[in-house]
Structure 1
Amino acid sequence: MENVIELKHPLIQHKISKLRDKHTGTNEFRKLVEEIAMLMGFEALSDLPLEDIEVETPIETCKTPVIAGKTLAVVPILRAGLGMVNGILALVPSAKVGHIGLYRDEETHEPHEYYCKLPDPINERLIVVTDPMLATGGSAIAALDFIKQHGGKHIKLMSIIAAPEGVKRVHEAHPDVQIYIGHVDRELNKDAYICPGLGDAGDRIFGTK
């Protein structure tokens, strides 16, 4: 599928395997999520626009490239998406951070919004939406809908693992959004959990049950 990019870098795959292990504790899990987000961000931001500025080196004055345009916006889907933010901020410390809060109905599995705050002007920024798990795709679609309703145009979605059903659904709903995935897993089970997956990312990042 066009605009769906599965990142097969050995370091990303190695760290995802450690995430899957049920014996990986909260502290290590949190660090791994940050590290994976940084590695994924390195790939996802490879097309950032550049412009030349004049810099005086110890030797001479030269023209040299810097990132052009408005600062990047990172928008985590609460709460698990928060775990990926610092990995991207390590690459682009000047990035602005917005937040989208969604909760999933336990019976219908459909998302409902409870919070949305985006950096202004959102229409002039490249927006990276983060959520470690892309399962049914409902939350991602809702988040992308909200961002577009607020004027967002240039959007990338980053998820560490995904179910093929969710990838297909998001891609069909938002074909213009580039989707970056660390690993596409086998399937969703009857409870809409990714298999083999890694459990509940939010609970494992924040140490809750």
Structure 2
Amino acid sequence: MVTVVSHPLIQHKLSLMRDTGTGVKEFRELAAEISMLLAYEAMRDLELAPQTLTTPLQTGQFPMLSGKKLALVAILRAGLIMTDAIVALVPAAKVGHLGMYRDPQTLKPVAYYNKLPADIAERRVFLTDPMLATGGSASAAIDSLKEAGAQSIKLMCILSAPEGIAVIERDHPDVEIVTAAIDSHLNDHGYIVPGLGDAGDRIYGTK
């Protein structure tokens, strides 16, 4: 399942991220803002339960989050910008990290780091990566989460390609993708077209 969050604010901010004239500072801010807006949609189905609270005027039953606790897992390095923003909304969430990079020759994912909450199996997991391109790294990251016991996983991406979506739907049909847009295609180097370039390089100013 793919959910495209087409809210005008998100689309406006995404267009600014695409612009080559957008500098590192603004790019980071836009990525963080879009991530928070995507989180509202991705977390729409969180469970609520009434709790007794006392307002300045009276005591009553009011909805509070219940059910499984949350985990935010970033695919390094670019996913960090998303988890850092989203944790401001859900500060009690635990944060994990999966190191994956794409081999420039084979375009296959290479794992180099894995640090997840010990109780990941008991949490709803939101996996973050700004770009869903070939889908290889995201699929491998989901494999790692499932091997650790995670059962409820959503993949949050700022930008997606049809090829990457197809890989996730093939390998992990139980994982919902929440994204701001689906672009046209991948080029010969595995970059999303029209895209916004390499998200990691633009976030950290490394190119």
Moved over 6 A (4+): none
- Give the aligned length: 207
What 5-or-longer segments of structure 1 have no aligned partner? none
Q: How does 1:1-209 map to 2 (within 5 A)?
A: 3-209=1-207
Secondary structure at the residue paired with 1:98? strand
**Percent identity between the two aligned chains:** 55
Q: Render the CA deviation track for 1:154-194: whole Å, top value 9, x for unaligned.
A: 00001111111111111111010010011100000011110
TM-score scaled to structure 1, two decimals? Answer: 0.96
Query: Aligned equivalents of 1:84 and 1:167: distance in 2?
Result: 19
Find the aligned partners of 2:203 and 2:50 in 1 and give their Cα distance. Answer: 40
After superposition, what is the alpha-carbon deviation per residue over 1:104-144, rounded to whole angstroms, capped at 9, x for unaligned? 11211111111111113111111000000000000000000
Output the TM-score relative to the length of structure 2.
0.97
Identify unmatched segments of 5+ residues in structure 2. Answer: none
Counterpart-to-counterpart distance in 2, 1:99 and 1:9: 29
Q: Secondary structure at the match of 1:172?
A: helix
Q: Distance in 1 between matches of 2:4 and 2:57?
A: 43
Q: Secondary structure at the match of 2:196?
A: coil
| Kept after mapping to 2: 8 A contact 1:76/1:100 | yes
Aligned with 2:87: secondary structure? helix
